[in-house]
Amino acid sequence: MKKIQKNELSILLTAVVLGLLIAVQARSFEDVSDVISRNTRSDIFREIQILKKTNETLLDETFELSDQLNKISNNQEALDSVKAEIEKYMIITGRVNVAGPGVNVKMHGDIKGIWLTDTVNELFTAGAEAVSVNTIRLTNQTIGFDTIPSGQILLNGVILNKPYVVTAIGDRKVLKEALEQPEGIIQRMNRNITDAVIEVSQEDRIEMAKVM
Provide the strand spans (E) within 109-195: 130-133, 136-137, 145-147, 153-155, 158-160, 164-169
CB pairs under 8 A, 24+ apart, for 49-53?
none
pLDDT of amino acid 62: 72
The string of pLDDT tens digits covering residues 89-103 is: 778 888 899 999 999
Q: Could you tell me if 109 and 60 lie in one domain?
A: no
* Residue (of 58, 185, 168) closest to 103 by Cα position: 168
Burial class (CB in 10 A: 0-12, 13-18, 19+), 131: buried
Distance CA 191, CA 169 (A): 27
- The amino acid occupying position 204 is D
pLDDT of residue 103: 98
Q: Which of these, 73, 98, 69, lies nearest to 167 by C-alpha position?
A: 98
72, 92, 112 — which closes off a domain? Answer: 92
Number of domains in the chain: 2
Q: At 103, which helix (H) or strand (E)?
A: strand 98-108
Domain boundary among 63, 92, 121: 92
Is pTM, for the whole model, over 0.85?
Answer: no
- Say if residue 15 is in the same domain as residue 61: yes
Spans of the chain, pLDDT less than 50: 1-4, 6, 13, 16-18, 20-48
Q: Length of the chain in residues, anyone?
A: 212
DSSP H helices, 105-165, are 113-125
Residues 165 and 132 in one domain: yes
Q: Quote the pLDDT of residue 29.
A: 42
